[in-house]
């Protein structure tokens, strides 16, 4: 396990302590959750970027057109106003 030292203004430190307390967490656990969230976002972006690089835009657009047609056909028809 590593140790991380960060510099915060006194106001930021106070507010983060308040946030942690309201969530029932220690300040350390709050930052652990921040890190987990940031890494999950980073991993998702990385996976998306890799998949996009392998993808075929024309095939993807055709698939989206098929989905639109499918769901448009299932949508109730709008009634005409008299």
* pLDDT tens digits, 41-82: 999 999 999 998 998 999 989 999 999 999 988 777 767 676
The Cα 21–Cα 12 span in angstroms is 14
Q: Residue for token digits 């095939």? A: 59
Domain definitions of the chain by residue range: 17-44+51-74
The pTM of this model reads: 0.63
Residues whose CB is less than 8 angstroms from the CB of residue 20 and which lie 6 or more positions away in sequence, other chains included: 26, 27, 29, 30
Residues whose CB is less than 8 angstroms from the CB of residue 19 and which lie 6 or more positions away in sequence, other chains included: 30
What pLDDT score was predicted for residue 1?
A: 86
Comparing 52 with 32, which gets the higher pLDDT? 32
- Terminus-to-terminus CA distance in the chain, angstroms? 72
What pLDDT score was predicted for residue 74?
A: 78
């Amino acid at each position: 396990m590593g140790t991380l030292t960060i510099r915060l203004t006194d106001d930021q430190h106070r507010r983060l302590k308040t946030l942690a307390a309201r969530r029932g967490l220690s300040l350390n656990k709050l930052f652990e959750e921040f890190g987990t969230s940031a890494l999950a976002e980073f991993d998702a972006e990385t996976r998306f970027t890799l998949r996009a690089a392998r993808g075929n835009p024309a095939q993807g657009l055709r698939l989206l057109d098929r989905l639109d047609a499918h769901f448009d056909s299932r949508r109730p028809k709008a009634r005409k106003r008299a």
